[in-house]
Structure 1
Amino acid sequence: MNAYEGPAPGIEIWPAFPESCDPAVASQSIQHALDLSVHAEQLGFDWVSVSEHHYAPYMMTPNPVVFAGALTQVLKKARIALLGPLVPLVNPVRLAEELSMLDALSGGRLEVLFLRGTPNEHKTYDTKTSDTRGMTQEGIDLVLKAWTEPQPFSWEGEHYQFSKIAVWPRPLQKPHPNVYGSGNSEESVLFAAQRGMGIAFSFAPPDVVKKWVQLFHDEAKKCGWQPGPEHVIYRGIAFAGDSDDDAMAQMGAYFGQKAEEQALFQSQAMGGPPVVPLISEPYFVGGPSTLIERFQVLRDCGVGVVDMAFGVGTHEQKMASMKTFAEQVLPSVHKM
């Protein structure tokens, strides 16, 4: 997670006032995020992810493509996952071009999760929330066609109109990088299944995941294809300790410190994204045996890819947590 490491407003405050940002701290925080990414590759993690957020300190990647471009130059083996660009906030043709560049820069290691974004994010550029579902779905269709169409073409849709589209470079991966859509609603699950895409869940309880995965499989079967576990991503906040008590104690101390810092900013406007229980009480927190059990639960739900945000603790605590996970949990996970 590319989070600001100094005192700053909490996730519930949006937009966060720019006066709270010390540019030197922000620069160091971004460098630490790159260092954590290299550390993850060295420890044997399969990919490093980056997502898009605006006007907030908890994720300083208003353009995830820029950060992903930097990752292509420091990571040599790990895949690079954009989870994801917020489709209604960008020009979909420009997005297709930039993602193709990233696939080329990375040597064909790009993964993409296309997202709609939370209601507060739609206010970034005054996008009408009521239009964002249609913009997301049409934008995805446009990106996929732009990646695969061999001849220049025009586009006349409900939300987008372009007289000429001819994307250079084309993606290195054929027909294009692995793509995923949201799995957090019935309509999104059906949309992804109908286009042969994977799905992704963020901070959802396992019983909900299991229900949507079954719907995904049922719809994909109707469309003539069979998803595998690799088509289902689960995303959650992670902190690995030597034991459950150790992990909870470290997380509690960190959150307590952050609560004291954030109390100084409570006079600022609220309006952040919904804070669901698995954000305030993360799923992947505990000692090795607990974490292995939680991975098995997700595996039984049909999840094959887990994206963990090691966003709890100081930079040193994050490095140590990742090391504990890699040494004591990852070998068992890779055997599932």
Structure 2
Amino acid sequence: MIKPWIFEFMQAPTPNEGEALRGAITAAFNGCYAFWLEAERLGFEGIFFSEHHFSHSLSPSPNLLIAAISRHTTRLRLGTMGNVVPLYEPWRIIEELTMLDHLTNGRLEIGFAAGVPQELQRIGLGMEEARERFNEALEILDAALVNPVVSHSGKYWKFENLSLMPGVFLQPSPPKWTTVVSTGSAQKSAQRRSKICTGFESVSRISEIFDVYRGECDRLGLPAGPDQLAIRRNISISRDAAQAREEAGVAKAATLKVIAGDPRAIDRASSLLDAPRTGAGFSVHDDDYIAGTPVQVTEQVINQCRKCGAGHFLAMLGRSMSPRRRESLALFGEEVIPQMRRAQISR
């Protein structure tokens, strides 16, 4: 079975002035809200919200979105992919997550991310310091997920017997995810007993990343099956295959604009977790853009998941303000999801 998720980027409306911009932002939030409620009706597994800052996205605080939608849904799993750890006090992250697990009635998925270099640089946070903060904060976060009373002495945080509230998760062990773009970060995620999600790259490159993760899990005696692995893809779906392909081209152009200035994408420089190891960056491959009729999209989704062994599929279904987005959601939910849930992933 392949579990279908929504990956919510929440693209911001085109900058404008005064009331026009205010109205566009309100309309974007209202449209997304209706979209998420429909996703539950259509049988999606859940929603992963992204976190981005300063441009492009209306989701600088995804935990607020989880809290808002949680009170109006009953089945959807809700999480971030992921909270940008270097921007926060780690104890604060845990306190919010424990609140959210109770607010969602135990439907929370926990996701951590190192952040996008160009966003971190806007506030003067260089890649080296961000990497150090991320690694140190993960030690605190992983400890706090097990015991709500934590002690730590490191470069950036020092505290003793810090009691975090509400203190306990509703779920005995909430699922934990990390976004990765390299084999090194995949290996470290396995050591932390975290599931992983990746995108952008070709299926063959993702298979390499997943193979390293599986190898490290095998070494540690941990589960490493399809339920530990997720891929994120852009989906353009229509009854008209040509229209879908055209929309995929627009989506790719938008992606390239968003990641412009990311050194990992441009010259395959080291990722935040792997610097200064060479070859740790990522590329944007055509495999990231799945387009066509419902039958064609179904075939591509299942084929990619089978090749790399992913048991979770995160779908980016059109731009937040697109008038065709609800149509795409319906086509994917009604015609693709039933086939995904019947598909067998053997790796």
TM-score w.r.t. length of structure 2 = 0.82
Judging changes above 3 Å, is the alpha-carbon distance between structure 1 residues 155 and 2 closer, same or farther for their aligned structure 2 residues?
A: same
Is 1:44 aligned to 2:46, yes or no?
Answer: no
Equivalent residue number for residue 273 of structure 2: none
Once the two structures are TM-superposed, the CA of residue 278 in structure 1 deviates from its matched residue by: 4.3
Once the two structures are TM-superposed, the CA of residue 83 in structure 1 deviates from its matched residue by: 0.7
Q: Which stretch of structure 1 is more off in the superposition, 307-316 or 233-242?
A: 307-316
Equivalent residue number for residue 331 of structure 1: 338
Higher RCO (C-alpha under 8 Å, 6+ residues apart): 2
Judging changes above 3 Å, is the alpha-carbon distance between structure 1 residues 313 and 115 closer, same or farther for their aligned structure 2 residues?
A: closer
- 1:21-49 C-alpha deviation (Å, 9 max, x unpaired): 81221121112111111111111111012
Q: Quick one: which of 152, 177, 182 aligns to 1:180?
A: 177
Equivalent residue number for residue 95 of structure 1: 93
Provide the alpha-carbon RMSD of the alignment: 2.9
Is 1:206 aligned to 2:203, yes or no?
Answer: yes
Q: Quick one: which of 289, 294, 297 aligns to 1:288?
A: 294
Equivalent residue number for residue 234 of structure 1: 231
Q: Which stretch of structure 1 is more off in the superposition, 316-325 or 296-305?
A: 296-305
Is 1:196 aligned to 2:196, yes or no?
Answer: no
Equivalent residue number for residue 157 of structure 2: 160
Structure-to-structure mapping, 1:1-336, within 5 angstroms: 1=8, 3-4=10-11, 6-8=13-15, 22-57=21-56, 59-149=57-147, 152-169=149-166, 170-175=168-173, 177-251=174-248, 271=261, 274=265, 278=284, 282-295=288-301, 296-312=303-319, 314-336=321-343
Judging changes above 3 Å, is the alpha-carbon distance between structure 1 residues 101 and 124 closer, same or farther for their aligned structure 2 residues?
A: farther
Judging changes above 3 Å, is the alpha-carbon distance between structure 1 residues 4 and 307 closer, same or farther for their aligned structure 2 residues?
A: closer
Amino acid in the other structure paired with 1:158: K
Does structure 1 retain, via aligned residues, the 8 Å contact 2:28–2:320? no
Percent identity of the aligned residues? 24
Gaps of 5+ in 2: 1-7, 267-281
Equivalent residue number for residue 14 of structure 1: none
Number of matched pairs? 315
Gaps of 5+ in 1: 9-16, 259-265
- 1:184-212 C-alpha deviation (Å, 9 max, x unpaired): 11221111111211111022210011111
Amino acid in the other structure paired with 1:44: G
TM-score w.r.t. length of structure 1 = 0.84
Judging changes above 3 Å, is the alpha-carbon distance between structure 1 residues 185 and 316 closer, same or farther for their aligned structure 2 residues?
A: same
Once the two structures are TM-superposed, the CA of residue 312 in structure 1 deviates from its matched residue by: 3.3
Judging changes above 3 Å, is the alpha-carbon distance between structure 1 residues 4 and 306 closer, same or farther for their aligned structure 2 residues?
A: closer
Q: 1: distance between equivalents of 2:116 and 2:202? A: 19
* SS in structure 2 at match of 1:200: strand
Amino acid in the other structure paired with 2:23: A
